[in-house]
Structure 1
Amino acid sequence: MREQMMEQFTKLFHTSHDIRSFFAPGRVNLIGEHTDYNGGHVFPCALTFGTYALAALRNDQTIQMYSMNFPEVGVISISLDKPLSYEKEHDWTNYPKGVLKEFIDKGVEISQGFDVLFYGNIPNGAGLSSSASIELATAVILQALYETSFSRVDLVKMSQHAENEFIGVSCGIMDQFAIGMGKENHAILLDCQSLNYQYSPIVLKDASLVIANTNKRRTLADSKYNERRSECERALRDLQKELQIQSLGELTPEQFESHRHLIQNKIDQKRAKHAVYENARTLEAVEKLKEGDLASFGQLMCDSHTSLRDDYEVTGFELDTLVEAAMKQEGVLGSRMTGAGFGGCTVSIVKNDNLEAFIEEVGKSYHEKTGLKAEFYVANVGDGAKELS
């Protein structure tokens, strides 16, 4: 692919000098869904597919951006002598622009422009975080081209801030953190409140992670996401009348049960219950993985999906159908939706001997019930965003 990217870069930008290569992965969250903005724990890992980029400095104040995934948009040019603002017609390039603005706002002197070409092999709209991937790819490009000395966690925070403020999506920090801090063959247990984290080896012995894409466009994800956030914030305010807490992630299930009566609205109670119990499940799951107890880890994944379906109500027919089909197959240890919900992907742990049958049978059952064709990826866990040598 690099040769095709080089060819395209040279054709578009008329230069073949001092071109540097970069990569930022996609991510999958193994357990800990909708806990990040509730101050809880998440357990994501970086994948070996993601966003590739080629970049080279220019001698003027122009920045030119092109994506091989959106050729119809063409080359978007922006000038450094004008303030950066979100512009609808700039389409996908608003993500890199938002990160660029973060660097400028932090006092980085960017006096010369650059050309950049992106190519991503993350399925678009699958919920494996293509937006955070392009943000972190941009962050490592800018760090390299302008020789800045931000820490990796700084780049993660700047990318999240760009998505919150420039793009206007109030996401938590998990996606950017997993993509910026990923480590080969490890998942990250992240406390989203304190940003304390630890790497945990993913040892699946004779099994693999399988990601299944529903191929349903996630039309509701953004609006429902903001709705769930406000429901949890209301529940937290009710609990704070008696409890000295800053987030739902601080509560154990036992503490929640003895104070749930404080939450006025029954729907808000269900949302808060998911956030609290999911956080506890995540911590338990990491311990089970450390002990090599994959069966218990898999059961916790299934419990997570049930809670997301019944208490948080973010799964939907397609995701539920995939998980139900997965759990009927031999050699499946656990399965759950991953990401925001309402479409996107599931992640399952499947014994290697059963992989082929799993993909064939689940795909067939899903197509019969939904009319949609699922796509399957046997996932490898890779490194975080970086410059490629």
Structure 2
Amino acid sequence: METLEKDLKASLQASFIERFDSPADYLYFSPGRINLIGEHTDYNGGHVFPAAISIGTYGALTLRDDQEIHVFSANFPDVGVVSFNLNDLAPRKYDSWVKYVRGVLYELKQAGYRVERGFNLGIVGDMPNASGLSSSASLELLIGEMLNAAFKLHIARLDIVKLGQQVENDYLGLRTGIMDQFAIGFGEKEKAIFLDVNTMDYELVPAEFGEYELIIMTTNKKRELVDSKYNERRDETELALKELQTVLPNLASLGELDLATFEKYQDAITDSTVLRRARHAVSENERTIIATSALKAHDLVKFGELLQQSHASLRDDYEVTGEELDTLFDAAMLQPGVLGARMTGAGFGGSAIALVPRATASDFIKNVGELYQAEIGYPASFYLAEIVRGTAEL
């Protein structure tokens, strides 16, 4: 990872100098994230168990003496430098990654922070597009922290995390929870984060897998989360909560229920589809709590079983997996010694993870890759998940 970091840092600085005739004053790295377990629970008031990973986004920034914003991505060299004025922050429907720059600036302004000069910004990432590894939150935290430093705004890390979520919710209209930004902001090396999204209380848990590797499997399916059924799922679980509140008036979120209590009162939910959505939210929260305890106890067999149960629930009750993710899951579970696998992230494409014996990791990647290519018609990508600290200056 250190060699790759040096290469990307050097290539970004070289690209920056080429475009702006001077080196950047600020160089930062912002990780992506995986979620070990606890999917679609964050906006339902439950627990999540994510970790920051070494695949992410690098940024270079220098302040200007005018109010112009000039940005480029080394991943899209043909696009060149995109320029806009500091006051030109209205959303553009087809603004690509630049919408996150505008969005962070807009939310900073809404919060009362003063950004009164323009800047030059360059980025490069090693995260595949539409991977479900949260490239958007990685970029939001990257921009937020770089502007925090450059303009000496003295914004607390939790407030930058919340600002990133506001970019998604208020600026872009995607009703995501806070997990992605929190994991990227508060990640620590070789630690996963057990987070209660109601209270923001969290615990860092050693992510120690012994003789096993955590392998990320990316579908390479083209998808835009904003155009997916993400908001629809949120509407469905909110409806389930409202119906449950007719018999449990003090219930504030689905995350407050254990599965036994949910099953006792589930008849209050009138629609069978909405019932299944709620059952996933409740059961997944319970699995996340149990899985965290299993990892603490180094019970990787139990942990792997819970990963499998999570994927089944996301496939059957929440219906957010799809052919590509199910093919990766099925292929992974056919491989010798694999303890568990599951989709990670919002779904509808994106990525999955698998807990694989380190000694057979190469065979696993070869075999799963061949099965996926034969079934889907194009290749998957595979990455070893190195768990790292959150967004920071290089």
TM-score by length of 1: 0.96
Shift of 1:105: 2.1
Deviations 1:285-332 (A, max 9, x none): 000000010000000000000111111111111111111111111121
* Aligned equivalent of 1:2, options 5, 9, 15: 9
* Aligned equivalent of 1:259, options 247, 260, 265: 265
* Aligned equivalent of 2:346, options 340, 352, 368: 340
SS at match of 2:348: coil
Q: Does 1:51 align with 2:57?
A: yes
Q: How does 1:1-389 map to 2 (within 5 A)?
A: 1-16=8-23, 19-80=25-86, 82-218=87-223, 222-243=227-248, 244-388=250-394
Relative to structure 1, the CA distance from residue 97 to residue 270 in structure 2 (aligned partners, 3 Å threshold; closer, same or farther) is: same
> What is the distance in 2 between the residues matched to 1:70 and 1:259?
52
> What is the distance in 2 between the residues matched to 1:259 and 1:344?
34
Residue type at the aligned position of 2:198: Q
Shift of 1:219: 5.7
Note the aligned Cα RMSD (angstroms).
Answer: 1.3
> Is the 1:221–1:342 Cα contact (8 Å) retained in structure 2?
no
List alignment gaps of at least 5 residues for structure 2.
1-7
Instruction: State how many pairs are aligned.
Output: 386
Residue type at the aligned position of 2:335: Q
Shift of 1:92: 1.4
List alignment gaps of at least 5 residues for structure 1.
none
After the TM superposition, which of the residue ranges 7-16 and 267-276 deviates more from structure 2? 7-16
> What is the distance in 1 between the residues matched to 2:202 and 2:124?
30
Deviations 1:45-78 (A, max 9, x none): 0001100011011111211111112223321212
Residue type at the aligned position of 2:173: G
% identity of equivalent residues: 48
Deviations 1:19-70 (A, max 9, x none): 2101100000110011111111111100011000110111112111111122
Shift of 1:2: 2.2
Deviations 1:65-121 (A, max 9, x none): 1111222332121222x2521123533111021111222222222222111100011
> What is the distance in 2 between the residues matched to 1:112 and 1:321?
49
Relative to structure 1, the CA distance from residue 293 to residue 89 in structure 2 (aligned partners, 3 Å threshold; closer, same or farther) is: closer
> What is the distance in 2 between the residues matched to 1:217 and 1:178?
24
> What is the distance in 2 between the residues matched to 1:220 and 1:5?
27
Q: Which runs of 4+ in 1 moved over 6 A?
A: none
> Is the 2:174–2:226 Cα contact (8 Å) retained in structure 1?
no
Shift of 1:208: 1.0
SS at match of 2:53: strand
> What is the distance in 2 between the residues matched to 1:107 and 1:224?
33
Deviations 1:188-236 (A, max 9, x none): 0111122111111101111111000111223677431111111111110
Deviations 1:142-171 (A, max 9, x none): 111011211111100011101111122111
